[in-house]
Amino acid sequence: MVAPPDNDVLWARALHFRYDDGSPGLSGVSLGVREGEILAVGGPRGSGKTTLLRCLSGLLPARSGEVWFNSVPVHTMGPVARERLRRDRFGWVDPAPELVPELNVWENAALPLMLRGTGRRRAKTAAMEWLERLDVGDRARRHPGELTQAERQRVCIARALAPAPSVLFADEPTAPLYRVDRGHVLRTLTTAARSHGITVVLATHDARTAALADRTVSLLDGRRVRTVHLPPVSGTPETEGRAACSLSV
């Protein structure tokens, strides 16, 4: 077992994963993520992006290989230790917004903090800061059923950022958003990450989203590749990209 480089907050070596039906998820993927870096994991749908993020975050134990976080071996942790790591140090944004329907908006955004033991008032203050930044502060007392899908996704992003995680894993975070909203939300997310020193691992099949990252790692069929062609966002004008955008590691 080789220790990771000191300047990498996340480091993975030779990750392999195969699903129960026998289909491959990852085939020998290795990478390092520097502290405070925004790393895009690019590739078409089905290339292994979500699987990689889940393995890096400890949600999905790799079948073989190593994952390190701040020089701590995640791959040797048991389920309870991995759950604690995700709760205390990681944030996660899914493509589809999932909120607790019984809680209002600010309670949903503050939930990770309150689960850590943060007082209700302090947790609400932190949650409201991010809800305001994401233009849903005026919905703070509404319940998820009263929001649009785009508003719910903004609340999910606020929920992930409110605890100031060391690493934010964002799996196609703007997928439910309208095109006009995507740029604003992504700029908010990346600006917040840089100002708070949050490392971001961002999975995307869209070249415009990947362009906001510091660096891009490309996957194809579960393998890391030198170049992959990503299509432009659906619904953009033809003049903004008939040709695919080439991304290189």
Q: CB within 8 A of 221, min separation 6: which ones?
A: 24, 27, 46, 47, 48
* Ordered structural domains, the chain, with CATH: 8-225 (3.40.50.300)
- What number of CA atoms fall less than 13 Å from residue 181's CA on the CB side? 16
Give, in degrees to the nearest 5, the angle at Cα 108 between 42 and 166.
45
| pLDDT (0 to 100) of residue 184 | 81
| pLDDT (0 to 100) of residue 77 | 95
| pLDDT (0 to 100) of residue 228 | 55
Write phi, then psi, for 70 (nearest 5 degrees): 50, 45
| Residue 237 predicted with pLDDT over 60 | no
65: left (phi over 0), alpha (psi -120 to 50) or beta: left
Give the tens place of pLDDT for each residue, 3-38. 666 678 999 999 999 988 877 789 999 999 999 999
Give the tens place of pLDDT for each residue, 156-213. 999 999 999 999 999 999 888 888 788 888 888 888 888 889 999 999 988 888 888 9
User: Per-residue confidence at 92, pLDDT binned at 50, 70, 90?
Assistant: very high
Which of the 8 DSSP states describes residue 235?
T
The share of the chain scoring above pLDDT 90, in percent, equals 67
Cα separation, 131 vs 154, whole angstroms: 8
| pLDDT (0 to 100) of residue 243 | 36
| Residue 149 predicted with pLDDT over 70 | yes
Cα separation, 153 vs 207, whole angstroms: 21
pTM for this model (two decimals)? 0.86
Cα separation, 157 vs 161, whole angstroms: 6
Q: Do 18 and 25 contact (CB within 8 A), yes or no?
A: yes
Q: Work out the end-to-end distance of the chain between its first and last CA atoms, rounded to an integer number of angstroms.
A: 25
Q: Shortest CA distance to 196 belongs to which of 169, 168, 234, 215?
A: 168
